[in-house]
Amino acid sequence: MALLQTTNLTANYGDFQALFGVDIALNEAETVAIIGANGAGKTTLMRSIAGVLRNTPEAVSFDGRPIGTTPADEIMAQGVAMVPEGRKLFPSLSVEENLLIGTYGRKTSGHWNLTTIYELFPILGERRNNPGTALSGGQQQMVAIGRALMSNPRVLLCDEISLGLAPVVIKDIYKAVPKIKEAGASLIVVEQDIAQAMAVADRVYCMMEGRVTLSGTPDSLSRDDIHKAYFGAGH
Amino acid sequence: MIWIDTVIQGVLLGGLYALFASGLSLVFGIMRLVNLAHGDLIVMGAYLILVLVTLLGLSPFVAVLIAMPMMFAVGWLLQKFLLNRTLGDDILPPLLVTFGLSIALQNALLEGFSADSQRLPTNALTTASVDVGPITLGVMPLLTFGSAVLVIVALNQLFYRTELGRAFRATSDDATTASLMGIKPGNIFATATGIALVIVTIAALYLGLRANFDPNIGPARLIYAFEAVIIGGLGSLWGTLLGGIIIGVAQTVGAAINPEWQILAGHVAFLAVLLIRPRGLFPRVND
Amino acid sequence: MAYTVTTQTRASRITTALGAVLIVVLFALPFFAGRGTIQDMFFILTMLVLAQFWNLLAGYGGLVSIGQQAFVGMGAYALFGGVILWGLDPVPAILLAGAAALVIAVPTAFFAFRLNGAYFAIGTWVIAEVFRLLVAQWKTLGGGTGTSLPRDATRDMWFVELIKEALDVRSAAARDILAYWLALVLALVTIGGIYWLLRTRRGLALAAVRDNTEAAKSVGVDAGRMKWIVFLTSAFGTGLAGGLIYMQKARISPDAAFSVTDWTAYVIFIVVIGGIGTIEGPIIGVLVFFLLQSLLADFGSWYLLTLGVLAIAIMLVAPRGLWGLLSERTGLHLFPIRRRLIGGRLTSSEE
Ligand SMILES: Nc1ncnc2c1ncn2[C@@H]1O[C@H](COP(=O)(O)OP(=O)(O)O)[C@@H](O)[C@H]1O
Ligand SMILES: [Mg+2]
């Protein structure tokens, strides 16, 4: 039984259907990458899992329990945290307050706390009292990751954490992934950067137009397959 | 000398208006909701204190301590089960629902307490005054102003020093992302309205001690509160205090020139600020 | 396809025919109805006019005003001023009422447009209060206690003599009939005019402005200008209604003429209950409102309490009002134009 699973997941924005029966699974201690072009439905998939978009109860299950209709805050309390696309830091909160909000109303036990987050991303410790939005893009992304880690999640959903960042910064951020896994989290990493995704993932799903078009381990997939699954057969 | 006295009385009156306004400012700051029943809730608070005073034979200052948690509960339930359902992109539902609530509340109070004006019982303390040099200051206005300052200090502490305050600010910034962090926006909003009604109760105490009240005076209190909030700049609590003071001073100065101009002068001051600084004196940056 | 089009034409032809019959009956009403009915109908028609203009503002323009009493009051006072100070006949003075409302609408809009959304609502209310307090200082018109129209002005009013002779009624009844006919004309012109406005290119742009000012800007709609047009139009119409209402009452005071309950709260309830953002809504709403008032008016504050609770319930359960429910069920549209969808509630879901 997978730790986190979607079964025939669909999603709509008004009349527009964004997901058509998506099945993905994430096993304990695994890192799964989801790749796909802009508009493929990756963010919609993440938001459906995290409870921002509602589904039927069985469409999403976590740890054997159906969570498709569970509100976002309760899903987070159960152990699924998200680093949202575009970072979404709270502008009225300082760096440290942004981190602390990840533990709102709960005592969490586990590896992650302010001290260990500042070890993971030392620059955040130096800038702890700055407003979150006064930081550079890469630093903001670190805050967003730290904020999600503060709840010591069992599953971490990362939506395009490399978006808009310089290659050296991306490398810096991805350096944290092994440490996050080590501390006991399983990851779903959404990426448009295929090479980056292949490098960290145990398995890869490729999405196009609201459907999973390809899946497998990184070495079992040829460049050609991925190209087709990414852009469609016509290209 | 008489002018200095007038202005000081106005400043102290501004404390009362700041008390009226703080709850409105708090709720607007967190959920962009303007509660048109705010003034009627103040009046309801005054009646609640009056009932406690009459039934239990308490001093108003003790009765208010019992009324505060009751009003918190009213605010919490009101927000959770009624007002939360109106929040969204469309401004009509919250406006029309709170307007309906305002009318319903006014008439419920009329039905329950009649249109006769009431007053909370005063004692030696509430009618006392102190001489500061050549100027005589009433103890009541001083207490009101002091309470307003205390309320604003307390709210700022709550906002910037507590976990709940962090959650308030985060939810105000972005409710959806806040829910991803384990916050229930609906409960945060309910708590905020609960706190707003605790402040409303304090405002109600001074409203009822200083002057007569009846079920119809709510809308005028809403208007004063609104003017103070706008003058100060949306969401700025110290700005709200200053806004209250400006309205208060305008009213006492207006009244000193011609008693019939008291209210009008307050409104004119508001319009003048709106003309010069449409976003208020201390506008929030990210609105 | 062609068949469908023909049926639709036939259907709307039937509607038009029925409408025409209704209008004829309404005009003929004074010939067979008593004075009480005429007075009730006057009340219904004037409230309908106010409701249509508030609906134009809030339902189509997204401008929720709680200050319409400013225009009713100013219009009414202008009429009294014109009659008492300048010796005008009350009937043409109704136009003066509209003009006065239009004149004060300009500074009102200037201030209120600086406020957004909910603050616009309270802002209009504050400005209405300012006008009430200013008018209360106008001593020649009775100051805070108010005044009445001079007896000879109402007695010699245009058309009254004619109606007296034609219908063989006393002069008080003739005045009511005159007021009723004027209200009927005003209501028909209002509905026709708003329907026309909404079907022009301007009107369609209006929907765009209401739905999203930014988006409207990006497709080249001048949102600011549309807001002004809607605001001034509503002020003018509301002022005319205010003049007419107080011409019939013949007695005025600032508190009554600038009453937020009578001229704005009731009007909002009418529109919300009937269905905001439709022309049919206020018509249904005013009938329901009148019915409720006839049934509950003796219960004093219970009546307003009920109205308030009813408005809340409708806003939550059926935000498109009674007409919205009806047209959903039957697909009926008496005044087909694009209509609004309201609702949207807070959940953590964004569907
Ligand atoms: N809030 C929304 N409303 C309407 N359509 C949306 C919304 N968000 C995303 N979409 C549409 O859903 C599809 C999938 O979007 P998304 O999940 O953001 O894709 P990705 O993250 O893969 O780029 C796109 O066609 C997008 O335009
Ligand atoms: Mg995306």
Q: What is the pLDDT of residue C207?
A: 66
Say if residues A43 and A54 touch (Cβ distance below 8 Å).
no
Asked if residue C341 has pLDDT above 50, the reply is no
Cα dihedral B235, B238, B239, B244 in deg (nearest 10): 110
Q: Is C48 helix (H, G, I), strand (E, B) or coil?
A: helix
**CA distance, residue A159 to nearest chain B CA (Å):** 13
Asked if residue C40 has pLDDT above 70, the reply is yes
Between CA C313 and CA C216, with CA C50 as vertex, the angle to 5 degrees is: 80
Q: Is the dihedral of CA C259, C142, C178, C170 positive or negative?
A: positive
Q: Is B9 helix (H, G, I), strand (E, B) or coil?
A: helix
Say if residues C58 and C271 touch (Cβ distance below 8 Å).
yes
If you measure CA to CA, which chain B residue comes closest to A97? B166
Q: What is the pLDDT of residue C220?
A: 59
Residues of chain A with pLDDT under 70: 233-235
Residue B102 lies in a domain: yes
Which of B245-259, C52-66, C111-125 comes out lowest in average pLDDT?
C111-125
Residue B192 CB-density burial (10 A; 0-12 exposed, 13-18 middle, 19+ buried): buried
Asked if residue C8 has pLDDT above 70, the reply is no
**Chains that contact C by 3+ CB pairs under 8 Å?**
A, B
Domains of chain A, earliest start first:
4-231 (3.40.50.300)
Q: Where are the beta strands (DSSP E) in chain C?
A: 147-148, 251-252
> pLDDT averaged over chain B?
92
CA distance A107 to C180: 71
Q: pLDDT above 90 covers what percent of chain C?
A: 57
Residue B152 lies in a domain: yes
Indicate yes or no: CB of C349 within 8 angstroms of CB of A13: no
**Chains that contact B by 3+ CB pairs under 8 Å?**
A, C
The band of C339, judged by pLDDT with boundaries at 50, 70 and 90, is: very low
The band of C3, judged by pLDDT with boundaries at 50, 70 and 90, is: very low
Stronger pLDDT, A105 or B10, i.e. the higher one: B10
b (16+ CB within 10 A) / e for A120-153: bbebbeebbeebbbebeebbbbbbbbbbbbbbbb
Asked if residue C350 has pLDDT above 50, the reply is no
Indicate yes or no: CB of B174 within 8 angstroms of CB of A102: no
Say if residues A63 and A75 touch (Cβ distance below 8 Å).
no
Q: Give the ligand at the shortest distance from the Cα of A209.
A: 1
Residue B199 lies in a domain: yes
Minimum-distance ligand 1 atom for the alpha carbon of A44: 17
Angle between the C69-86 and C117-135 helix axes, to the nearest 10 degrees? 20
**Chain A CB within 8 Å of residue C343 CB:** no
Residue B245 lies in a domain: no
Q: What is the pLDDT of residue C164?
A: 86
Which residues line ligand 1 at a C-beta cut-off of 6 Å? A 13, 16, 18, 36, 38-44
Number of domains chain B is built from: 1
Q: What is the pLDDT of residue C11?
A: 62
Residue B207 lies in a domain: yes
A19-37 pLDDT tens trace: 999 999 999 999 999 999 8
Asked if residue C337 has pLDDT above 80, the reply is no
Helices (H), A22-104: 42-50, 72-78, 95-101
Residue B265 lies in a domain: no
Give the mean model confidence (pLDDT) for residues B273-285. Answer: 82
Determine the distance separating the centroid of ligand 1 and the alpha carbon of A8, expressed in angstroms: 18
Residues of chain C found within 8 Å of residue B272, distances taken between Cβ atoms: none
Pairing label, strands A155-159, A80-83: parallel
Q: What is the pLDDT of residue B285?
A: 58
Among A43, A190, A194, name the best residue to mutate to test ligand 1's pocket (greatest count of ligand atoms within 8 A of Cβ). A43
Instruction: Please tell me the residue having the least CA distance from ligand 1 atom 14.
Output: A41
Indicate yes or no: CB of B36 within 8 angstroms of CB of C126: no
Q: What is the pLDDT of residue A210?
A: 93
Asked if residue C340 has pLDDT above 80, the reply is no
Rg (CA), chain A: 17
Asked if residue C347 has pLDDT above 50, the reply is no
Q: What is the pLDDT of residue C237?
A: 97
Which element (helix H / strand E) includes B275? helix B262-276
Say if residues B105 and B219 touch (Cβ distance below 8 Å).
no
* Position B277, amino acid: R
B197-239 pLDDT tens trace: 999 999 999 999 999 999 999 999 999 999 999 999 887 899 9
Residues of chain A found within 8 Å of residue C351, distances taken between Cβ atoms: 12-13, 53-54
Indicate yes or no: CB of C312 within 8 angstroms of CB of B84: no
Residues of chain B found within 8 Å of residue C135, distances taken between Cβ atoms: none
**CA distance, residue A91 to nearest chain B CA (Å):** 7
The band of C7, judged by pLDDT with boundaries at 50, 70 and 90, is: very low
Indicate yes or no: CB of C342 within 8 angstroms of CB of B104: no
Give the mean model confidence (pLDDT) for residues C18-43. Answer: 93
Q: How many CB atoms lie within 10 A of CB C90?
A: 29
Q: Which of B152, B155, B190 is nearest to B171 (CA)?
A: B190
Indicate yes or no: CB of A76 within 8 angstroms of CB of B181: yes
Place of tokens 């004027």: C182
CA distance B177 to A85: 10
Which of B233-242, C168-177, C289-298, C339-348 comes out lowest in average pLDDT?
C339-348
> pLDDT averaged over chain C?
86
Q: Which of A138, A140, A152 is nearest to A109 (CA)?
A: A152
Domain span at B43:
2-89+97-109+136-216
C219-262 pLDDT tens trace: 556 677 888 989 999 999 999 999 999 999 999 999 999 999 89
Q: How many CB atoms lie within 10 A of CB C306?
A: 16
Q: What is the ipTM of this complex?
A: 0.92
B150-197 pLDDT tens trace: 999 999 999 999 999 999 999 999 999 999 999 999 999 999 999 999
**CA distance, residue B90 to nearest chain A CA (Å):** 17
Q: Is A208 helix (H, G, I), strand (E, B) or coil?
A: strand
